[in-house]
Amino acid sequence: MDFGLSEDQVLLRQTIRRFLDEQCPTSRVRAIMESDSGHDTTLWQGLVDLGVTGLIVPAAYGGSGLELLDLVLAAEELGYAATPGPFLGSSMATVALMEGGDAAQRQRWLPQIASGKALLTIAFGEADSQWDPRAFTTKASGGKLNGEKPFVPYAAIADALIVAAADDDGPGLWLVERGAAGIETTSLTLVDMTRRVDGVRFKDTPATKLGGDRAALQRTIDAGCILIAADAYGGSRRCLEMAVDYAKTREQFGQIIGAFQGVKHQIASLACEIEPSLALYWYAAHAFDRIRDQSPRHAALVKAHMSDLYDRATRDSTELHGGIGFTWEFDLHLWFRRAVFDRSFLGEAAVHRARAADLAGW
């Protein structure tokens, strides 16, 4: 029994971390978030070249053939660096293709995802914060989609969208290519400026059905939950580090503020909450890969847990920084903003806890 990362995984994480340290300082994060597209193709291609988009793509399709436990390590580091870009939607679309695509669909898209030639995203959630596939109202009929998806990551720049919809057989996955007829995209301004989301409306939009059913759809959502949890863990860790660094250098009343127990204890309490959640999100990813019967529940649990914790980490850290923490020029709000996204996207904590209780048969 070994509850830990392999040497390769540790190396993978270090490699991504080093790349982001060099290529994605907060000055670049800010430049990207203030750009029109919110997408820096050079930075993204750098991640592609490291193999990030192909991590879970099977070797036969040009990827590394690894698992979600590897991909979440990338998610953690991107969260740590507050890296803007379409990683989450792209990763979920990749899972959707692997879970639901037939051989031809995979052959068409997976190599392009791995090589960075194509950018895919997912269009799942519906109005009124609905993330339960059983309740989706977007309809597929005669190869055409009709419905509305109010929150679609990077829809404006995606080469294809994987859309959750229902036909007579129930909920499933459809693929819509860029430029298809009847797509109306409205860009939205989010609190989290490091991630872009558009509203999308389909009116008789031509779409190809993927093979997977509701299980494939739910599994894609579960992967998204775990990826968000990893992002939130990375961000929480960064907020904690910033608080510790500040407490070690800032002086008031003639001493380093980290020597005051009020400060010390708030930081220690936060560290005490963050530290054990690392093993929790690793396990959730491992369960997704290897212990399927535990996977849906763990995805729900970890999404709820980490998005709550991320919120606390950003707030505690801001409080500890005092006035500087509340300014635009200080970087802390970048993670605060990401925590807002992580909390809401794919369903808030209460929804996932209710789902976990249902899954336990309570």
Partner 1 sequence: MDLSYSAEYEAFRKEVQTFVQENWTDEDRNSAPPPDPRSITFGTLIRTDERATKFRIKAAERGYLYRHVPKRYGGGEQPFDPLKSTIISEELRRSQAPGELMGQGASMLVPTLVEHGTEEQKEKFVRDTLLGKIRWCQGYSEPGSGSDLASLRTRGVLDGDFWVINGQKIWTSNADTSEWMFCLVRTEPEAPKHEGISYLLIDMQTPGLTVRPLRQMTGEADFNEVFFDNVRVPAKNIVGKRGQGWVVSRSTLKHERALIGNSLLSRRTLDGVIMLAQALNLRGQPAIKDPAIRNKIVELETKVLANEYHANRLLTMQARGEEAGIAGLVAKLYGTMLGYDVAKLAMDMLGDRGMLAPGEPSAPAMGMFLTAYMWSLGVLIAGGTANIQRNVIAERGLGLPRDQAASRK
- Whether 109 and 88 have beta carbons less than 8 Å apart is answered as no
Task: Tell me if 362 contacts partner 1 by CB under 8 A.
Answer: yes
Q: What CA–CA distance (Å, rounded) separates 303 from 140? A: 29
- Whether 172 and 178 have beta carbons less than 8 Å apart is answered as no
Minimum distance, C-beta of residue 55 to partner 1, in the bound complex (Å) = 15
Task: Tell me if 258 contacts partner 1 by CB under 8 A.
Answer: yes
Minimum distance, C-beta of residue 205 to partner 1, in the bound complex (Å) = 38
Task: For residue 155, give Cα distances in angstroms to 18, 149, 198, 255, 294.
Answer: 29, 10, 6, 51, 32
Question: How far from chain centre, in Å, is Cα 75?
Answer: 7
Give how many residues touch partner 1 by CB under 8 A. Answer: 46
Task: Tell me if 6 contacts partner 1 by CB under 8 A.
Answer: yes
**Other residues' Cβ atoms within 10 Å of the Cβ of residue 199:** 17
Task: Tell me if 354 contacts partner 1 by CB under 8 A.
Answer: yes
**Considering only residues 36, 168, 272, 293, which one is a binding residue for partner 1 as defined by CB under 8 A?**
272
Angle between helix axes 332-344 and 295-321 (nearest 10 degrees) is 150
**Considering only residues 279, 292, 319, 322, which one is a binding residue for partner 1 as defined by CB under 8 A?**
279
**Considering only residues 3, 22, 328, 329, which one is a binding residue for partner 1 as defined by CB under 8 A?**
3
Minimum distance, C-beta of residue 305 to partner 1, in the bound complex (Å) = 5
Minimum distance, C-beta of residue 324 to partner 1, in the bound complex (Å) = 19
Task: Tell me if 292 contacts partner 1 by CB under 8 A.
Answer: no
Task: Tell me if 265 contacts partner 1 by CB under 8 A.
Answer: yes
Which lies closer to partner 1 via its Cβ, residue 337 or residue 352?
Answer: 352
**Considering only residues 142, 179, 276, 323, which one is a binding residue for partner 1 as defined by CB under 8 A?**
276
Minimum distance, C-beta of residue 76 to partner 1, in the bound complex (Å) = 15
Q: Which stretch binds partner 1 (CB under 8 A): 57-65, 214-222, 262-270, 325-333?
A: 262-270
**Considering only residues 110, 114, 221, 304, which one is a binding residue for partner 1 as defined by CB under 8 A?**
304
Q: What CA–CA distance (Å, rounded) separates 70 from 339? A: 22
Among residue numbers 223 through 252, which ones bind partner 1 (CB under 8 A)? 244, 247-248
In 3D space, the residue among 189, 226, 187 whose CA is nearest the CA of residue 342 turns out to be 226
Task: Tell me if 2 contacts partner 1 by CB under 8 A.
Answer: yes
Q: What CA–CA distance (Å, rounded) separates 165 from 154? A: 19
Minimum distance, C-beta of residue 1 to partner 1, in the bound complex (Å) = 5
Q: What CA–CA distance (Å, rounded) separates 180 from 202? A: 10
**Considering only residues 256, 292, 322, 324, which one is a binding residue for partner 1 as defined by CB under 8 A?**
256
Minimum distance, C-beta of residue 350 to partner 1, in the bound complex (Å) = 6
**Considering only residues 139, 214, 264, 315, which one is a binding residue for partner 1 as defined by CB under 8 A?**
264
Residue by residue, DSSP assigns 116-159 as: TS--EEEE--BTTTB--GGG---EEETTEEEEEEEEEETGGG-S
Q: What CA–CA distance (Å, rounded) separates 67 from 284? A: 12
Task: For residue 306, give Cα distances in angstroms to 51, 236, 244, 303, 336.
Answer: 26, 9, 20, 6, 14
**Over the range 123-136, which residues count as b (16 or more CB within 10 Å of their CB) and which as e?**
bbbbeeebbebeeb
**Considering only residues 259, 319, 322, 326, which one is a binding residue for partner 1 as defined by CB under 8 A?**
259
Which lies closer to partner 1 via its Cβ, residue 151 or residue 283?
Answer: 283
Phi first, then psi, for residue 176 (nearest 5°) are: -120, 130
Which lies closer to partner 1 via its Cβ, residue 6 or residue 45?
Answer: 6
Which lies closer to partner 1 via its Cβ, residue 14 or residue 269?
Answer: 269
Q: What CA–CA distance (Å, rounded) separates 110 from 107? A: 6
In 3D space, the residue among 53, 152, 163 whose CA is nearest the CA of residue 109 turns out to be 53
Binding site residues, partner 1, CB under 8 A: 1-6, 69, 244, 247-248, 255-256, 258-259, 261, 263-265, 267-269, 271-273, 275-280, 282-283, 286, 290-291, 298, 301-302, 304-305, 350, 353-354, 356-357, 362
